[in-house]
Amino acid sequence: MAEIAASPAPAVSVIVPAYNAAATLPETLESVLAQTFTDFELLVVDDGSTDATAQIALSFEDSRVRLISLTHGGVARARNLAVEEARGTLVAFLDADDVWLPRKLQLQVALLDERPDVGLCVTRATRIDADSRPTGEMPILEASDDYTAALLLHSSIAGGVSAAVIRRELFQQVGGFPYGQRQAEDWDLWLRLSLHSTIAVVPEALVLQRAHAGNTSGVAYELERDTFPTLDRFFASPLAGPYTHLRKRVYARHWMICSGSYLHQRQLLASLRCLVRGLATSPGSVRQPLGLPIRWLRRARRHWASA
């Protein structure tokens, strides 16, 4: 009996972790299958859903779509396990409530083919609401000679995980996404990748990132909880030596970011605590150091006046 030849490995493995994502998953998967670049496999990771997530994935009659079923263990675990199953030399991540525009993979693969020094390629992104209506383009840092420093000081360079295409070998080399984080898992990975490879940006908004109540609750608390362990791990790395001079400035800036996040959620005592930590860590290096204290006092005054 003649052996059946194995199908050739695709260029890209698209990984979509999904937990109770039946409401948005069809639009997400359709946006992948509508890509102008077609040499990919699409791994849908059902992370222990109790809704119709798995059935929706199986309903797509396309040989490139594959369902991976797991017990619920969180998005970082789902992504990392899917990379172990992936066959592509590149891995692209897409959250189950986000959407890609048709030329997203085409432009990123072309850039990575042209530049072997680039390990992580990201694009711009546009925010959309629960009804898929655009609400504004997300900020992104422009081209930089040192993305590691930019990441340390500004946290993000792109529209989240859904904007990224990464060389699979490099992803595995740096250890993938950290478990147990919600607000900084992509930033944690970007920092580690930046120490080993170049980052490049496709300057078009090719990702629609959905913002809704389900993915914004508890942001301030989770931001503080996840930010500083990420920084601790980064500065403990032997490769972080060139950035030790930024340490106090980086910690101070992120205490101020956490303070502003708490302030936005009207958690005044937590905001004040982070504000004091930031000013105490490096008062001279905090950008616009008086801006946040003045906003804090104004917000506190309004809060207490209405109490």
What is the pLDDT at residue 153?
87
Average pLDDT in the 225-235 region? 95
Pair 158, 123: CB distance under 8 Å: yes
Strands (E), 168-217: 198-210
| CA 276 vs CA 154, 253, 281, 292, 294: distances in Å | 20, 12, 8, 11, 13
| pLDDT-derived band at 142, boundaries 50, 70, 90 | low
For residues 118 and 41, give the distance between their C-alpha atoms in angstroms, rounded to a whole number: 22
Pair 274, 255: CB distance under 8 Å: yes
Is the pLDDT at 1 greater than 50? The verdict is no
**Residue ranges per domain, the chain?**
12-215, 219-306
Burial of 299 (0-12, 13-18, 19+ CB in 10 A): middle
Residue among 210, 197, 207, 144 nearest 166 (CA): 197
Residue among 226, 112, 208 nearest 159 (CA): 208
What is the pLDDT at residue 211?
79
Structure letter (DSSP) for residue 157: S
| DSSP conformation letters of 38-70 | --EEEEEEEES-SSSHHHHHHT---TTEEEEEE
Residue among 155, 137, 119 nearest 207 (CA): 137
- 31 Cβ neighbours under 8 A, 6+ residues apart: 94, 99, 100, 101, 102
Average pLDDT in the 141-153 region? 80
Q: How far is CA 30 from the centre of its chain?
A: 21
| CA 271 vs CA 132, 216, 251, 260: distances in Å | 32, 18, 15, 7
What is the pLDDT at residue 59?
97
What is the pLDDT at residue 183?
80
What is the pLDDT at residue 290?
47
Average pLDDT in the 25-54 region? 98
What is the pLDDT at residue 58?
97
* CATH top-level class of 12-215: alpha beta
Give residue-wise pLDDT tens across range 246-296: 999 999 999 998 998 898 888 989 999 999 999 999 887 655 544 555 565
Give residue-wise pLDDT tens across range 50-109: 999 999 999 999 999 999 999 999 999 999 999 999 999 999 999 999 999 999 999 999
Mean pLDDT of the chain: 88
Residue among 289, 290, 222, 296 nearest 259 (CA): 296
What is the pLDDT at residue 25?
98
